[in-house]
Structure 1
Amino acid sequence: MTVATWNVNSIKQRAGHLAAWTRQTQPDVVLLQELKCTEDSFPYMEVQAAGYEAAVIGQKSYNGVALLSKGEIEVTATALPGDDDDTQARYIEARTCGVRVASIYLPNGNPADGPKYDYKLAWMDRLRARAEELLRSEEIVVLGGDYNCAPTDDDVYDPGRFADDALCKPQTRSRFRALQYLGYTEAWRALHSDRHVYSYWDYGAAFRNDDGLRIDHLLLSPQAADRVSDCRIDTTPRAWEKASDHTPVVCELDV
């Protein structure tokens, strides 16, 4: 089966891109981030026409995450546990197609240091706690999304420029590694040693110049990592007109 993650940066603007890409690639599960819409304005009809069910947690103008699946979706969480006062739509989790999946839109955290960065680090600590809890289920688990973290300098086109950015600060990277130390495998890096391969490019000339960052990831539980056969970053949609600034990351699991 195929699991993909894609920060679409406004589902209203990118619904056509999503429909075209899913028709071409036929993933079984698609994890979406940065919908920038409420649940009632999500394009359910277009998604269903493409052959998918959808579970959506939306927020007006900001954030928003969704799970699309060719199978039935059993939602198991609509927010990241650990802070009942956190109302930002950044996490949805479900069982579908024989796996437990979560769509994650981790906070950007800039400017760092400050309240936004404190929120990011606290969110990552909560994610670690949830990820550890999910491991105890011994299910096939895929935690995918926009992590707003470039794990190493090899994942940034200009490490010096981003040294003090919230996406690359040591505290961010150490918390990302903490997820891996639990036993999760970062799918793309596990199968590739290439440096300076990216999933995000800012608007303007960044994509043309390949000035990017690799901040979109699929983390696999041991049960999922044992079954991964491929992981790729599909840059095709990033070249389309009026594209998202992110592009899909896709992994294949033999289940």
Structure 2
Amino acid sequence: MKIATWNVNSLNVRLPHTLRWLEENQPDILALQELKLDQDKFPEAEFTRIGYHAAWNGQKTYNGVAILSRQPFQEVSIDIPELNEPQKRIIAATIDDIRIVCAYCVNGEAIGSEKFAYKERWFAALQAYMRTQLEKHPKTILLGDFNIAPYNIDVYDPEKWQDKVLCSPQERSWFQQLLQLGFTDSLHQLYPDSAHYTWWDYRMNMFKRKLGLRIDHILLSEKLVPLLRDVQVDSSARGWDRPSDHAPVIATLA
């Protein structure tokens, strides 16, 4: 089983990229973030045409998440109920007996800003939400754009990024709190000593210079870790014409 996540940074712009990537890679499940589409604008027919079921939680201009699956969905839910907020950042669905939670986590803008304080509240709510999900679904995958690079090896220049948003000790502690619920960072589990970036700034030729961060993750609950076979970042998609600034991450489970 191939399960992937990709922040497409506007599905309206990147729909051809997404369809091409699906055709070339044939994942069983693909989680998408930053759709930037109203709920009624989602191109469901395009995915149905190539054999995928779709569930989505859309928002015009900002945010928006979706799950595409070869198999039908059960128990689809959106948002974190306790937050009671307008930002569309969460969608969850059960596929076979696996709970898939797709998350587009808050960026935070800058340390000490109001948006950073909001990011802290949001991650606290996410932790409580995922604790509930795990209680109901022992086989759970939390995946998406976390906007956190959890280890120094996930940053092209750790000294430069020290104490900056995405790499701060506070944010890394929030990531570790998710792991402490009973999740495993799949790529780090297999390749703890290798640099694998998933995001490159559009500016200053960062992708061509191989200067990136790993902020997109696939976290597996304890029941699923024994099934993990491989995790890869498909950086080739970042080199396409008019690309997203993120690359897909793909986990292969037995």
**In structure 1, distance between residues paired with 2:8 and 2:237:** 10
Q: Where does residue 133 of structure 1 map in the other structure?
A: 132
> In percent, how many aligned pairs have the same letter?
40
Letter in 1 for 2:63: N
Distance in 1 (alpha carbons) for counterparts of 2:247 and 2:75: 25
Find out whether 1:161 has 2:160 as its counterpart: yes
Aligned to 1:62: 62
Residues matched between the structures, number: 253
What are the equivalent positions in structure 2 for 1:31-180 lying under 5 Å apart? 31-84=31-84, 86-180=85-179
For the aligned residue pairs, the C-alpha RMSD in angstroms reads 1.2
* Alignment gaps of 5+ in structure 2: none
Shift of 1:98: 2.8
Normalised by the size of structure 1, how large is the TM-score?
Answer: 0.96
Q: Which moved more, 1:97-106 or 1:69-78?
A: 69-78
- Secondary structure of the equivalent of 1:15? helix
Q: Distance in 1 between matches of 2:206 and 2:182?
A: 34
Matched ranges for 1:228-247 at <5 A: 228-247=228-247
**Does the 8 A contact of 2:55 with 2:76 survive in 1?**
no
| Counterpart residue type for residue 248 of structure 1 | P
Residue 138 of structure 1 deviates from its aligned partner by 4.5
Alignment of 1:177-192 (within 5 A): 177-192=176-191
Aligned ranges for residues 9-20 of structure 1 at < 5 Å?
9-20=9-20
Which blocks of at least 5 consecutive residues in structure 1 are unaligned? none
Report the CA distance between 1:96 and its aligned residue.
Answer: 1.1
TM-score (norm 2): 0.96
Does 212-221 or 222-231 show the bigger shift? 222-231
CA–CA distance in 2 between the matches of 1:50 and 1:113?
45
Task: Give the whole-Å Cα distance in 2 for the aligned partners of 1:198 and 1:11.
Answer: 22
1:197 equivalent in structure 2? 196
Q: Is the 8 A contact 1:138 1:223 kept in 2?
A: no
2: CA distance, partners of 1:140 / 1:230? 18
Runs of 4+ with deviation above 4 angstroms: none
Task: Give, as a single letter, the amino acid of the residue that structure 1 aligns with 2:211.
Answer: D
Counterpart of 1:101, as a letter, is I
